[in-house]
Chains A and B, each alone.
Chain A
Amino acid sequence: MSVTAKQRLVVGVLVGLAFWPIAHRILVVQTRLSPWRFFGWAMYCTPKLPVVVEVTALRGKARTALALSELSNDERRAVHRLSEKRGMWGTYATPDRLAQRLLQSQHYADGIQIGVSHWYLDPDTARIATQRYEYVYRR
């Protein structure tokens, strides 16, 4: 490879790197992708805070919150995994698989509602705030 070709390659990569953080920021805003990852150079911009997953069984108009202790070990692990994946991938990590698993085990329920709360440091109030997403799965 000639020096000129190598120069073009290096500058091409550098140009990509110079513009990627803009796309990264848009993805973080729209999907809650992790600001600390994916090479957007947004480390130490906002704290790494938990993503809380809550499960509710739906039966008719009744709604029963399911505590983690009421779930099987596998289901608890699945909840934990979703929380971790969500902290990384934001809304790209959907709770579909967890919901399918819960629909199988919670026979009495017509449906399952999964609430996902992303905690973040709100720059307007300087307090911890949450953004909540609700997913409803019916049989």
Chain B
Amino acid sequence: MFAARVLALTDDLDRAAQAAMARAFQLLLLLHVFTRTLLWTLAQQASHGDWQAGRYVLVAALGAAGLVTWRLPRYARQATWLALLVLTIKLAASFPTTSNHFFIEFLCMALLALCNIDVSDERALLLSGARWLTLIVFFWSGVQKVLYGTYFDGAFLGYSISTRPSFATLFAWAVPAQEIARLQGLREVSPGAGPYALQTPLALLMANGVYVFEMLAPVLLLIRRTRTWAAVATMGFVFCIEAGALELMFGALFLNLLLLFLPRPLNRTLLPGFAALYAGLVASRLGILPRFWFN
């Protein structure tokens, strides 16, 4: 009873769009984990990592799982279990350096393996569970920033501007050139270095806005009346943050999760766009397109 009530909070009043949404989510997630594992394997190859043949087996298994899910949907659950097995191996192999990003992928895949998306109630469970996961991750990201206290005076942002050129470029419109120059002058990171605190009111507003938004958005996403607009605003927020951090894979995954909060299956419409993005990232890593750093 309690479980059903909790899940109902993130369920749709009208479940008509859920079949298309769940199916698109399934395909997007498989495409995502395949791409990420391929990028991981290519990166390891470049750095002469060990177990390279094993990595390619994992990539092939995920590729096969994706293809089966796409072309032979009646075997999609078996394919999803195969993908979950691969991710479990990856989790065991990467622990303790496993990224939080990977853990979200793993939990989403576990949800997909658990729920039969051809059954209405299980489909609803999948979507509600994935939405709750999104809310928890987003909310705690904000709370943790408060607990660490490095956003009140913009110190973390200042440090990022000081050490990462992509942040300096991204915030050039909000932080005066003089302050950026000062921060970049502190680039030698050592005990006593700093202060990284920001002085510009706009930059301070932005730094404090990050955690406020991260804690507020989940509440607005939970309330049905504000859900759609909150989802759109959160997607814009995530897009800006991840573009700055160049965490493109995490950004894509999180956008996929946020698309689940919309009343229509926009994720199905955007599926080719995501496929093009992933193909572009792989092509960049292979040197077919201009190379650039991303995570």
- On A, residues with C-beta under 8 Å from B are 3-4, 6-14, 17-18, 21, 25, 35-47, 49, 88-89, 117, 119, 121, 123-130
Contacts and interface: CB of A to CB of B under 8 A. Distances in A.
Contacts of A43: 100, 141
B144 A25 contact: yes
Q: Which bracket fits the contact residues of B?
A: 35 or more
B153 A126 contact: yes
Q: Which of A13, A44, A47 has the most CB of B within 10 A?
A: A44
Q: Which 6 A-B pairs have the closest CB atoms?
A: A127-B194, A123-B149, A126-B197, A11-B3, A45-B148, A126-B155
A89 B190 contact: no
A7 B129 CA distance: 9
A44 B245 contact: yes
Given A11-B6, A14-B132, A128-B189, A39 B103 contact: yes
Given A10-B111, A11-B7, A25-B144, A45 B193 contact: no
Interface string B120-135: 0110010011001100
Nearest to A41: B140
Contacts, number: 130
A35 B196 contact: no
A21 B143 contact: yes
B122 A6 contact: yes
A10 B159 contact: no
Contacts of B125: 3, 6-7, 10
Interface of B: 2-4, 6-7, 96-100, 103, 107, 111, 114-115, 119, 121-122, 125, 128-129, 132-133, 136-137, 140-141, 143-145, 147-150, 152-153, 155-156, 158-160, 163, 189-197, 245
A9 B114 contact: yes
Contacts of B2: 11
A46 B100 contact: no
B194 A21 contact: no
Given A35-B148, A123-B148, A46 B190 contact: no
Given A7-B125, A35-B148, A46 B156 contact: yes
A137 B160 CA distance: 39
A18 B222 CA distance: 15
A21 B121 contact: no
B195 A127 contact: yes
A46 to B, nearest CB: 5
Contacts of B129: 10, 14
A6 B114 contact: yes
